[in-house]
Amino acid sequence: MASWVDRVGDFFALDDDWVRPGGGIGRSDVVLTIVSVVVSLFVLELMRSVGSLSQVDEPVWQQVLLTAVPCLFLLPRRRWPLTTAALASAGYLAIGIYVPLMTSLLSTQIVFFLVVLAGVAWARNRRAMVAVYAMIVAAMFLWLVWSFAVGRALSDMAPDPDPGALFSVTVAAALMASIINILYFGGAVIGGQVAWRGARQRADLEQQTATIRDQAEALRDNAIIEERLRIARELHDVVAHHISGIGVQAAAARRVLDTDPEAAKGALGRIESGSRDAVGQMRGLLGTLRKGETPPGSDGGAEADGWVGADGSDHAPQPGLADIPELAESRASTSLTVVHELVEESTGDLEGVPDSIGHCLYRTAQEALTNVTRHSSARTARVAVRVDAASAEIEVTDDGRPRPGTSGTGMGQLGIRERINSHHGSVEMGPRPLGGYRVRARIPLRSGGDS
């Protein structure tokens, strides 16, 4: 019993609070009502012409009124579905009691069917709908019982019964009336529920479409933000690295300009080379941004190994782990010694590191060395590269102390964390127990590191 009740409740969606939108009186309702009135009156005249209403004693104006009024319930059937269905049922019963033959008009039957269907299809409260229709069905059943009790329905349905038929007149008439009403009301109720479920599914699809559209816009915005962050990191790494190096070399040249002209000349040469490298990398990055080109084999950023643009111009290769020795050499000066160390588990592990990961670790070392020269009193810095089959790691350590008045904005370290996190790696940054500072970044090579 409980299972049957649950199935009925699920079919009519009794626990669904969704309200079907669009319930109102529109132009289509007005047109349908007018057309129904005209067609119903036309059918009435046809039936009067063939003598089907010869047994109706009421005057013609009453027949016209009883035919046209039921059509008016089509107008508010969507705005007030349950009230309209209840009033239409009461009117139908009243006509059936007063002039039973008038309820047999095809147009009246169609109108009442549409009103009953709309009540189910547009009801705001599903539980109230079930209660109202239960009362309507009960009223119709009592009307049929009363009609058979007084003998009017029996005489109308079986004016000349066959004595040799299988069923008696009473049983046959009751079965026919029951089957007709079950099909009539059942079809209207099921059709209305199907219409309601169809509208519910369309609303769900529209909501899902809106959600997907919002998610797509959010993903697009996130992609734009991530691209801006990537550009900011690239600009910071390129500009900060070269400008910091130029400053160190300029300071060294100023110190030895009078005592060691050759050393000063070398420092000025490195300044010239560093400024040219900075301009070249800036042009390559800006050219990529202007053309919207993506290097082949890259992950969507400018972290490719070297490529040719659409206009045939060469873009400088992006540095990787193999360029760490040159980076260490470029950061060395008279006041800072930079030592490079490479540790491979197996020979050739360094070449197996993906370009994007190598570039990420290179930028990490570059930023760490820049911070050493700008914010530390270190005399020695060590850059260690460790590579095995599972991961690639870079570690930059120094022996200095923080230089007073040189604290930065923290954007460089933030950029390091963002880069490493984008490859599912880990970062350790902070003072060393015995003095100095350490930056250590590790990126896995197997579990999505080169994503």
Please report whether residue 238 resides in a domain.
Answer: no
Please report whether residue 354 resides in a domain.
Answer: yes
Identify which of 72, 79, 74, 82 has the alpha carbon closest to the alpha carbon of residue 119. 82
* CB neighbours of residue 181 within 10 Å: 15
Please report whether residue 224 resides in a domain.
Answer: no
* Same domain? 208 vs 351: no
Please report whether residue 415 resides in a domain.
Answer: yes
* CB neighbours of residue 428 within 10 Å: 10
* CB neighbours of residue 295 within 10 Å: 21
**What residues does 381 pair with on adjacent strands?**
338, 398
* Same domain? 326 vs 180: no
CATH number, position 436:
3.30.565.10
Task: Per-residue pLDDT tens, the chain, 451 aa: give them.
Answer: 557 778 878 888 888 888 888 788 999 999 999 999 999 999 999 988 888 888 888 888 998 999 999 999 999 999 999 999 999 999 988 888 888 778 888 888 899 999 999 999 999 898 999 999 999 988 888 887 777 666 555 555 555 666 667 777 677 777 887 888 889 889 999 999 999 999 999 999 999 999 999 998 998 888 878 877 777 777 766 666 667 677 777 877 787 787 888 878 877 887 877 777 777 777 766 665 665 544 443 444 434 444 444 344 444 567 889 999 988 988 887 788 999 999 998 888 899 899 889 989 998 998 899 888 888 889 999 999 999 989 999 999 999 888 877 666 677 888 888 889 989 999 999 999 888 999 999 999 875 444 4
Q: Is residue 67 a contact partner of residue 105, using CB atoms and an 8 Å limit?
A: yes
Please report whether residue 223 resides in a domain.
Answer: no
Domain count for the chain: 2
* Same domain? 188 vs 328: no
Cα separation of 151 and 186, whole Å? 26
Q: Token digits for 110?
A: 């169609």
Please report whether residue 311 resides in a domain.
Answer: no
Last residue of a domain, one of 214, 237, 261: 214
Phi, psi of 158 (to 5 degrees): -135, 75
Cα separation of 331 and 325, whole Å? 10
Q: Token digits for 436?
A: 């100095």
* Same domain? 200 vs 338: no
* Same domain? 209 vs 340: no
Radius of gyration of the chain (CA): 44
Last residue of a domain, one of 165, 181, 214: 214
* Same domain? 199 vs 324: no
Q: Which residues have a Cβ under 8 Å from the Cβ of 83 and sit 6 or more positions away?
A: 76
Boundaries of domain holding 414: 318-451
Please report whether residue 3 resides in a domain.
Answer: no
Cα separation of 320 and 131, whole Å? 75
Last residue of a domain, one of 195, 214, 233: 214
Cα separation of 16 and 122, whole Å? 13
Please report whether residue 225 resides in a domain.
Answer: no
